[in-house]
Structure 1
């Protein structure tokens, strides 16, 4: 700053005032406080028969104001989202799923924030590539659990559902897996539906809303809880040789009966109600085995899944469990995938979730909209010249 000593005092004052003036101008024009118009994403509309978008979205040419990342996510996927009463859906492997007749449909309007997507974990998840790391994880360092959790958040934002991640305390007398039972029960006091997923349970088609699946699986207002069946093989049977229900994906619907069921389930290892349940506190398959062996056969003072199947719904393994890589188990994960066989593939699934929406938008912007493609197929090349094709011979 020695050069300032030779500058007149009046000029020195001006030099120090210049930054103040610049900041004042920035504030006045709104560049600093974000008052300028937010960027808008173009509404995508394909007109050919191979459009990946639904017809009711193709005609919608409005551009929503984008105020946050959830707004951007919803704008990206909105043309793809399947209406909850769409009669037909085709899975990634080409399997067709059809809803019941219109008069049998249960859900006709989106439930929005009344549905909560829930992640529960007792681990720190603070290492490299983890969601609670001090540094934001780059894509190529993202851990498999983080990819699963992020896919759940993404799915919730696409459909306008609530999302919660609970960093749960651990039980002193049982395996950490049990925390998801009591945390699901906790959120059932706040939401109509709580959808609890293990990190390796994911939605392969994020455009498919839960309300569509509720209609497909006939999740009416009597259903308290729904879970997928496990593969029909050892060691996945209970003491009655009935296949276990898998707790990696739980649909829980709030009601007084549901609160009672979850309370009894959480207390199962204490053997206040269920004799012989203590061993499942720390023995595989923990809360899953406790539910399958005890709770589903004796809930609400003597009800059983066999006598009152309307309260507990067992979802087909091929639709709500497993992945194509373990097709021999009969669990293909058509609508919900569970990567218990290959947990490292959660990164691949997360990548697909995002690129399913981004790729059509890129194709639209680069190759369908005017401005980037110059079509010279009606020309011919001759030496260094681009010439018109000669008229066809008569």
Structure 2
């Protein structure tokens, strides 16, 4: 960094003034943001749209409105991440620990996929209680953990220009609630080339790292139906053939006729018309995941059908590193402690916001940093130092002080 010329105390006057205004509203805006839902093109026409939140309160006043401001929320988010977006066809990526991940060959994806990608949330619950995503107000203090997860999905789509949908799914009368993700993913694949479904306790750890780079790194080919991360090496995570389950909380699927067939078979598995014994997983853990692990993965077993992602890269979180090394390098699944989701959201913002703020601090140094080191303190007075006193000051620097006040 080039040298910065700070303002000397002797050059300041009572008429000194700030020359620029620092307009930074990133963090509180992120935390207070409320998602407006729109009907999806793959939702039936008689499907009731998700409640649109009002822009005025009961007294007719504005309710957290940003109307009239120069910057929209979308512009603020894109402006924060645009300078640091990782190229989709980069040969490697270096993580926060300095570890380097390299592509194994020529990248398939060299351009952004944009709206061909759908980032997808699916839930049949109302989620309208205090602190939940569909409530009319959401505050950082008191926010429920899963709201943080879904907001991170929405933000990730916004950063990279992907489509985003939240589907409020109908419930099965005879199955555990998580089964609804199967038919909803199937429908979503009719309108988008690629879908990324995440449970609400899952998030991308590096929001500036595009999906296209990960598809290159994990080698999604034109024949790939879906990608899922393997579960930790623990007794409950094995199927009837002794293989570990693939975790259905994070799924990347690619549109194709064969993919539609797979999802149809998966959704119909408990009927036992094709897979005897699958009805067991209607209500018994691990529900739709166990059905996929015990049946579907063995029917769709061409070399490129199902890509198994490493647990350490696409499952778990640092707190789970002692469970098979599943620390979630790229994708974090907070099944150890869902309460860590808000921290994960904060990290995904502050990790990139803080360096930009620090850079601006130095750029504006001449306006707000006052160099009074050319004076000595005597009682309540400041007396300008002689050249000899300045030399002595260098040897005494730090005297009577602690490191950063601790």
Query: Does the alignment reach a TM-score above 0.5?
Result: yes
What's the CA shift for 1:186? 0.8
Deviations 1:201-228 (A, max 9, x none): 1111111111110010001211110000
Decide whether aligned partners of structure 1 residues 389 and 163 sit closer, same or farther in structure 2, where only a CA change above 3 A counts. Answer: farther
TM-score normalised over the length of structure 1:
0.77
2:307 aligned residue: 313
What's the CA shift for 1:316? 0.4
Note if 1:75 corresponds to 2:79.
yes
1:204 aligned residue: 205
The alignment partner of 2:355 has SS state of helix
Tell me which moved more, 92-101 or 149-158. Answer: 92-101
2:173 aligned residue: 172
What's the CA shift for 1:68? 3.3
d(CA) in 2 for partners of 1:270 and 1:372? 71
Tell me which moved more, 231-240 or 357-366. Answer: 357-366
Decide whether aligned partners of structure 1 residues 311 and 377 sit closer, same or farther in structure 2, where only a CA change above 3 A counts. Answer: farther
Is the contact between residue 116 and residue 164 of structure 1 (CA under 8 Å) also seen in structure 2? yes
d(CA) in 2 for partners of 1:349 and 1:369? 30
d(CA) in 1 for partners of 2:334 and 2:270? 27
The alignment partner of 1:141 has SS state of coil
Note if 1:88 corresponds to 2:92.
yes
What's the CA shift for 1:386? 3.6
The alignment partner of 2:359 has SS state of helix
d(CA) in 1 for partners of 2:71 and 2:223? 38
The alignment partner of 1:78 has SS state of helix
Structure whose alpha-carbon radius of gyration is higher:
1
What's the CA shift for 1:95? 2.7
TM-score normalised over the length of structure 2:
0.75
What's the CA shift for 1:378? 6.7
Is the contact between residue 66 and residue 72 of structure 1 (CA under 8 Å) also seen in structure 2? no
Tell me which moved more, 125-134 or 162-171. Answer: 125-134
Residue ranges of structure 1 left out of the alignment (5+ in a row): 1-38, 42-64
Is the contact between residue 192 and residue 253 of structure 1 (CA under 8 Å) also seen in structure 2? yes
d(CA) in 2 for partners of 1:324 and 1:241? 27
Residue ranges of structure 2 left out of the alignment (5+ in a row): 1-21, 25-68, 393-406
- Among 305, 318, 334, which residue is 2:329 paired with? 334
Deviations 1:211-253 (A, max 9, x none): 1100100012111100000001110001110010000100010
What's the CA shift for 1:294? 0.1
What's the CA shift for 1:380? 4.3
The alignment partner of 1:328 has SS state of coil
Tell me which moved more, 265-274 or 354-363. Answer: 354-363
Note if 1:190 corresponds to 2:185.
no
Deviations 1:56-109 (A, max 9, x none): xxxxxxxxx9763222211111112111122222223433211224xx211100
d(CA) in 2 for partners of 1:212 and 1:388? 60
d(CA) in 2 for partners of 1:66 and 1:249? 37
d(CA) in 2 for partners of 1:220 and 1:312? 10
- Among 353, 368, 374, which residue is 1:379 paired with? 374
